């Protein structure tokens, strides 16, 4: 009898409990697959580290022999050998940072930098909105009051002024804010590329607000909504998230960190080629980042090279550039094209991400259904509680 009663009691679970169990099962499946996902990420980076030096040498070889052969031929033997040694050292230093843990740490720094920029833009917007009207505002108000007094009784006065003060658009308002470096795009490209996170000094890092301060400020600007620190910075937890949506966010930050490492290595290689006299020009980091984000259209070029048009032909050191510049730009897609083993690892990661997206969609559907049922239950509880409340006291009579 007790077993039958327990079975009957187990069959009386509410829909909310069923949905919660379904969400827990999804997270358990993600947690079970996380070790395999971590091994795939580590294998991808291992293959990348093993083939990175050969790929970089191939890109620099094309620059030295196909693009600027005369400049390379004019170099003394000692400088040429020094160039090879320096290129190998740069790749070795970057390879030490191409691990899952190092990229997760960099992803946290990139997210912190992004939130700092969002906080700065919100503060500038608040200052622009709260800016006082110009000095002729009282006179304008008197003119409007006089015009309203002269209007016939019962008429509606339609003002032609903007709903927000002019200071928001003119002067140092929104227009000037958007024209500042970093304000002309959602990501703040110029500010985003101004400081290299890899070379930041400890004293400079202490000047930035902490992660808790940034999240607290952003949650206050968003209407007081609570933002979990682990959800805003899942890379600093030390393990892969079990929530499918959060794990997708983690992988996105991982890819951004990998792209930043490769971009920094590309800039270091280009700087060394310029220092040794192989190339005549150097493209800024902001332009490399714009190309990676698809904000700047580049010319066709071999793998891991960037060929961009210049606004006009230039003579640099007696070398005619011919209206275009070619530099090294390492991209994951080009690296996978050159390394078949890396392409195989990428294919496995894409299969895992596809399954993860399916689980994330299912989790979103379950969470939305659970929120709906909980809201309906609260609504019914409020209705029953309202019926038991005493009537409201009569409002005091107002004088006519």
Residue-wise pLDDT for 318-362, tens only, equals 454 557 889 999 999 999 999 999 999 999 999 999 999 999 899
Check residue 8 and give its pLDDT.
44
Residues 54-63: what's their mean pLDDT?
95
Residues 375-395: what's their mean pLDDT?
77
Residues 75-84: what's their mean pLDDT?
92
Check residue 235 and give its pLDDT.
73
Check residue 145 and give its pLDDT.
56
Check residue 345 and give its pLDDT.
95
Q: Any idea which of 8-22, 172-186, 281-295 has the lowest mean pLDDT? A: 172-186
Check residue 131 and give its pLDDT.
66
Q: Residue 305 gets which letter from DSSP? A: E
Q: Is the pLDDT of residue 388 over 90?
A: no
Q: Where are the beta strands (DSSP E) in 300-350?
A: 305-309, 315-316, 319-320, 324-328
Q: Is the pLDDT of residue 187 over 90?
A: no
Check residue 382 and give its pLDDT.
83
- Residues, the chain, total? 400
Beta-carbon contacts of 349 under 8 Å, excluding residues fewer than 6 positions away, are 40, 41, 44
Q: Any idea which of 223-232, 271-280, 282-291, 337-346 has the lowest mean pLDDT? A: 223-232
Q: In the Cβ-directed half-sphere of 227, how many Cα atoms lie within 13 Å?
A: 19
Handedness of CA 305, 306, 309, 314 (dihedral sign): negative
Provide the pLDDT confidence category of residue 395 given band limits of 50, 70 and 90. Answer: low
Beta-carbon contacts of 389 under 8 Å, excluding residues fewer than 6 positions away, are none
Winning range, highest mean pLDDT, from 202-206, 220-224, 360-364:
360-364
Helix (H) or strand (E) holding 73: helix 69-73
Provide the pLDDT confidence category of residue 311 given band limits of 50, 70 and 90. Answer: confident
Q: Residue 196 gets which letter from DSSP? A: -
Check residue 200 and give its pLDDT.
39
Q: Is the pLDDT of residue 44 over 70?
A: yes
Top pLDDT among 74 and 147 is at 74
Top pLDDT among 149 and 219 is at 149
Check residue 297 and give its pLDDT.
86
Provide the pLDDT confidence category of residue 247 given band limits of 50, 70 and 90. Answer: very high
Residues 180-184: what's their mean pLDDT?
41
Provide the pLDDT confidence category of residue 261 given band limits of 50, 70 and 90. Answer: very high
Q: Is the pLDDT of residue 391 over 80?
A: no
Whole-model pTM: value is 0.69
211: nearest Cα among 350, 108, 63, 103: 108
Q: Is the pLDDT of residue 312 over 50?
A: yes
Q: Is the pLDDT of residue 181 over 50?
A: no
Q: Is the pLDDT of residue 277 over 80?
A: yes
353: nearest Cα among 252, 262, 261: 252
62: nearest Cα among 302, 265, 275: 302
Q: Any idea which of 106-120, 169-183, 330-344 has the lowest mean pLDDT? A: 169-183
Provide the pLDDT confidence category of residue 17 given band limits of 50, 70 and 90. Answer: confident
Paired sense of beta strands 324-328 and 305-309, if any: antiparallel
Q: Any idea which of 49-53, 122-126, 364-368 has the lowest mean pLDDT? A: 122-126
Give one DSSP letter per residue of 10-59, joined into a string.
HTT--HHHHHHHHHHHHHHHHHHHHHHHHHHHHHHHHHHHHHHHHHHHHH
Check residue 199 and give its pLDDT.
41
Check residue 172 and give its pLDDT.
42
247: nearest Cα among 335, 377, 109, 355: 355
CA 231 to chain centre: 14
Q: Is the pLDDT of residue 158 over 80?
A: no
């Amino acid at each position: 009898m007790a077993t039958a009663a327990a079975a009957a009691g187990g069959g009386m679970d509410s829909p909310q409990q069923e949905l919660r169990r379904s969400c827990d099962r999804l997270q358990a499946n993600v947690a079970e697959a996380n070790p395999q996902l971590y091994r795939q990420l580590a294998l991808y980076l291992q293959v990348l580290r093993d083939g990175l030096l050969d790929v970089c040498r191939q890109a620099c070889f094309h620059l030295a022999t196909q693009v600027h052969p005369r400049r390379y031929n004019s170099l003394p033997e000692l400088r040429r050998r020094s160039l090879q040694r320096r290129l190998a050292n740069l790749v070795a230093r970057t390879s030490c940072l191409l691990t899952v843990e190092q990229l997760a740490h960099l992803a946290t720094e990139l997210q912190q930098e992004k939130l700092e920029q969002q906080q700065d833009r919100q503060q500038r917007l608040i200052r622009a909105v709260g800016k006082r009207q110009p000095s002729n505002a009282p006179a304008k108000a008197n003119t409007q009051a006089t015009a309203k007094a002269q209007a016939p009784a019962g008429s509606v006065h339609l003002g032609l002024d903007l709903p927000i003060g002019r200071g928001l658009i003119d002067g140092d308002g929104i227009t000037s804010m958007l024209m500042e470096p970093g304000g002309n795009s959602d990501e703040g490209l110029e500010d985003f590329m101004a400081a290299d996170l890899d070379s930041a000094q400890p004293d400079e890092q202490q000047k930035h607000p902490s992660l808790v301060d940034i999240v607290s400020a952003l949650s206050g600007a968003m209407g007081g909504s609570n933002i979990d620190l682990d959800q805003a910075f899942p890379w600093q937890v030390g393990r892969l998230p079990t929530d499918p949506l959060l794990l997708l966010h983690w992988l996105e930050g991982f890819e951004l960190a990998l792209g930043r490492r490769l971009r920094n290595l590309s800039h270091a290689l280009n700087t060394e080629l310029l220092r040794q006299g192989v190339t005549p020009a150097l493209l800024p980091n902001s332009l490399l980042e714009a190309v990676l984000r698809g904000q700047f259209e580049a010319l066709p070029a071999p793998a891991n090279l960037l060929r961009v048009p210049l606004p006009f032909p230039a003579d640099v050191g007696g070398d005619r550039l011919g209206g275009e510049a070619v530099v090294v730009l390492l991209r994951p897609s080009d690296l996978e094209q050159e390394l078949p083993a890396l392409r195989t690892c990428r294919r496995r990661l894409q299969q895992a991400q596809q399954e993860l997206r399916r689980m994330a969609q299912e989790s979103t559907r379950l969470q939305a259904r659970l929120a709906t049922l909980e809201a309906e239950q609260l609504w019914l509880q409020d209705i029953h509680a309202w019926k038991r409340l005493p009537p409201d006291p009569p409002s005091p009579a107002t004088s006519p």
